C-alpha cells in the first residue's frame, strides 16, 4: 500500500457507507472535493474541517493551522477556532513541543483563530510527529465546492506546487545542493510561508460560485475534485497555470509533474463571467498574483486525476 490520501473510489465504496444516522442539519457532508462539513445551527452555518499533517518534518505546527484554516476559508467562513491533536514521537522533548505549539500560536494569530482545546501525547508507535487538526468557523453564507457552474471562469492564485516545493527543499536539501543555487533553495524553502489562502478567500468569497484548496494531488487533483463535486467538467490549458521557476527546476530534477504535486497556497475558484473583473481587481489591489486558467464546461476534463500525489513517489 502506498502512502497518502486514499483514492476517491475507495472513499466512496468503503468510507461513505458508514456514516451513522442521517441528520437534516448537515448541509455539506462527506464528499470527494468537499474540504469542510457545513451544519445549519439556528440561523448560521457552522463550518468544520479536519486535516492531518503527516508528510512534513519541519514547520508542522505552522502547516497544521494553515491547511485547516484554508479548508474552512474556501467554504466561505472565517477560521475562528482550532483544536489540534498533537501526537509526539518519543524523542521530541520539551523544546520540540515548545517549538510546535509556538508555531501553532503564531499561525493562529495570522489567520485570526483561537486554540480552544485539543490533545497532546507521546506515542511510541510513530517515527514522526503528527498533528491532526480541526478548524471551525461560522458564516451566514457558505460556498460548497460543488457550486461551480458551466461558463464560470477558473482563477488560480499564486502558483502550482508551492507546498510540495518547500517540503522537498527542506527534506531533500543535501540532494538539491547541486541542482538549485543557495538562493533558489532558500526561495523554495520560503514557499512554506505562503501556504495560507485565507486572505484571498476572504477577498473574493462574495463573487465566486466555489473555491477549492489544492492539497494532495496538486492542481490537477483539485480541478478533478471540483469537477467531481459539481458534476461538470473543466477546460484548462496546462500552460496557463503559473509554476515558479524554482519549482520547474526542482520538478525536472525529481522527474515529477508540478501540476500533480501537493499545492497548498494556491486557491482555485470559479467565477461567473459578470464577476471576473471584480475578482481580478480585488486580487490585484491586494497584490496577490493570479491567473485565469480556463473555465468550467458541461463535461470533459483536460487534466487527468493523479492516482496519488507526486510527493509520495519521491519521499517514500
Contacts (CB under 8 A) with a second copy, residues 26-45: 26, 29-30, 34, 36-37, 39, 41-44
- Partners of 211 in the β-ladder: 269
Cα separation of 205 and 24, whole Å?
25
- Supply 150's cell numbers: 458551466
Site for a second copy in 103-122 (CB under 8 A): 104-106, 108-109, 112-122
CB of 94 to a second copy, least distance (A): 6
Half-sphere exposure of 218 (CA within 13 A, CB side): 30
CB of 211 to a second copy, least distance (A): 17
Which span (14-22, 160-168, 223-231, 236-244) binds a second copy, by CB under 8 A? 14-22
Site for a second copy in 43-62 (CB under 8 A): 43-44, 46, 48-52, 54
Cα separation of 72 and 35, whole Å?
7
CB of 264 to a second copy, least distance (A): 14
Contact 176, 166 (CB under 8 A): no
> Beta strand pairing status for 26-28 and 37-41?
antiparallel
For a second copy, the binding residue among 33, 76, 84, 144 (CB under 8 A) is 84
Site for a second copy in 210-239 (CB under 8 A): none
Interaction of residue 182 with a second copy, rule CB under 8 A: no
Interaction of residue 292 with a second copy, rule CB under 8 A: no
- Supply 294's cell numbers: 480556463
Site for a second copy in 134-173 (CB under 8 A): 134, 136, 138
Interaction of residue 2 with a second copy, rule CB under 8 A: yes
CB of 204 to a second copy, least distance (A): 23
Cα separation of 90 and 96, whole Å?
11
For a second copy, the binding residue among 15, 177, 240, 278 (CB under 8 A) is 15
Cα separation of 188 and 134, whole Å?
28
Residues 6+ apart with CB under 8 A from 9: none
Interaction of residue 305 with a second copy, rule CB under 8 A: no
For a second copy, the binding residue among 19, 240, 278, 284 (CB under 8 A) is 19
**Rounded (5°) CA angle 76-72-316:** 135
Amino acid at each position: 500500500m502506498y502512502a497518502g490520501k486514499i483514492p476517491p473510489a475507495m472513499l466512496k465504496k468503503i468510507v461513505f457507507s458508514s456514516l451513522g444516522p442521517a441528520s437534516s442539519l448537515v448541509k455539506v457532508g462527506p464528499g470527494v472535493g468537499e474540504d469542510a462539513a457545513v451544519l445549519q445551527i439556528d440561523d448560521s452555518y457552522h463550518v468544520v474541517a479536519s486535516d492531518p499533517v503527516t508528510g512534513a518534518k519541519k514547520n508542522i505546527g505552522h502547516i497544521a493551522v494553515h491547511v485547516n484554516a484554508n479548508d474552512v476559508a474556501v467554504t466561505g467562513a472565517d477560521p475562528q477556532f482550532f483544536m489540534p491533536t498533537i501526537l509526539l514521537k518519543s524523542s521530541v522533548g520539551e523544546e520540540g513541543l515548545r517549538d510546535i505549539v509556538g508555531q501553532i500560536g503564531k499561525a493562529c494569530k495570522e489567520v485570526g483563530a483561537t486554540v480552544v482545546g485539543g490533545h497532546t501525547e507521546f506515542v511510541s508507535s510513530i517515527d514522526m510527529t503528527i498533528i491532526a487538526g480541526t478548524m471551525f468557523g461560522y458564516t451566514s453564507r457558505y460556498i460548497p465546492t460543488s457550486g461551480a457552474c458551466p461558463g464560470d471562469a477558473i482563477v488560480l492564485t499564486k502558483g502550482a506546487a508551492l507546498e510540495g516545493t518547500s517540503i522537498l527543499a527542506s527534506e531533500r536539501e543535501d540532494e538539491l545542493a547541486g541542482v538549485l543555487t543557495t538562493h533558489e533553495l532558500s526561495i523554495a524553502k520560503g514557499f512554506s510561508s505562503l501556504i495560507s489562502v485565507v486572505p484571498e478567500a476572504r477577498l473574493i468569497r462574495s463573487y465566486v460560485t466555489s473555491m477549492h484548496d489544492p492539497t494532495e494531488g496538486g492542481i490537477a487533483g483539485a480541478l478533478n475534485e471540483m469537477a467531481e463535486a459539481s458534476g461538470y467538467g473543466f477546460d484548462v490549458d496546462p500552460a496557463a497555470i503559473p509554476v515558479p521557476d524554482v519549482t520547474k527546476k526542482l520538478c525536472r530534477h525529481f522527474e515529477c509533474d508540478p501540476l500533480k504535486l501537493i499545492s497548498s497556497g494556491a486557491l482555485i475558484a470559479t467565477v461567473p463571467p459578470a464577476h471576473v473583473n471584480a475578482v481580478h481587481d480585488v486580487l490585484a489591489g491586494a497584490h496577490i498574483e493570479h491567473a485565469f486558467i480556463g473555465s468550467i464546461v458541461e463535461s470533459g476534463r483536460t487534466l487527468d486525476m493523479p492516482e496519488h500525489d507526486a510527493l509520495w513517489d519521491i519521499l517514500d
